[in-house]
Amino acid sequence: MFGFCFALVPLYDVFCDITGLNGKNFNRGPAADTSVDRSRTVKIQFVTVNPSDMPWEFRPTVRDLRVFPGEDKVTSFYAANPTGNWMVAQAVPSVTPFEAAPYLNKINCFCFDRQPLEAGSDVEMPLVFVVDPDLPEHISTITLSYALYDITGSAEVSKNSTSDDKGPASL
């Protein structure tokens, strides 16, 4: 029974990746060279969520942007650790409508890496993205949502292992 439950998480991730269900978007790295479609704009909304056990302040620096499909855009998210303890967080993205997920390409995202942050510190974390010009015409608004989780207690996370990370919070 334990093995079955343990295997469900990666199977669900594969299912979501294949179908686009849950708006999960795992695009990494540069998108293919495309031309900018200046005939229309797409509104990108940014939303953040913290579970009840995550004490950090976490928010987008801007709530929404208008972009041309094919245009590289840069924005950032603000995070602050108001606790008296060093912590590590991981952001998990979700895209809605789920149909838009394959067309939103994150070139550089703080969600790709763990984010260590000293007690009382804050940081702006970058996001570079592009909306694929092949985005269906009926989609005019995309919401990119991030949930920020405390992973400090994870077996793989220790202060020594993350101090060499090159993420923005360890600069």
Domain count, the chain: 1
- For residue 47, which of 171, 145, 156, 166 has the smallest C-alpha distance? 145
Residues 6 or more apart in contact with residue 12 via CB below 8 angstroms: none
Q: In the structure, what pLDDT confidence band is assigned to residue 167 with cuts at 50, 70 and 90?
A: very low
Domain interval for residue 77: 2-170
CATH (domain of 127): 2.60.370.10
- Express each pLDDT in 7-41 by its tens digit: 555 555 555 554 444 544 454 444 455 589 999 99
b/e for 91-106, b at 16 or more Cβ within 10 A?
A: bebbbbebebbbbbbb
What separation in angstroms does the CA of 19 have from each of 25, 27, 171?
Answer: 11, 14, 37
* Cβ–Cβ under 8 Å, residues 110 and 163: no
- Express each pLDDT in 122-151 by its tens digit: 999 999 999 999 999 999 999 999 999 999
Portion of the chain with pLDDT greater than 90, in percent: 68
Arithmetic mean of pLDDT over the chain: 82
Residues 6 or more apart in contact with residue 1 via CB below 8 angstroms: none
End-to-end Cα distance, the chain: 43
Model's pTM, two decimal places?
Answer: 0.73
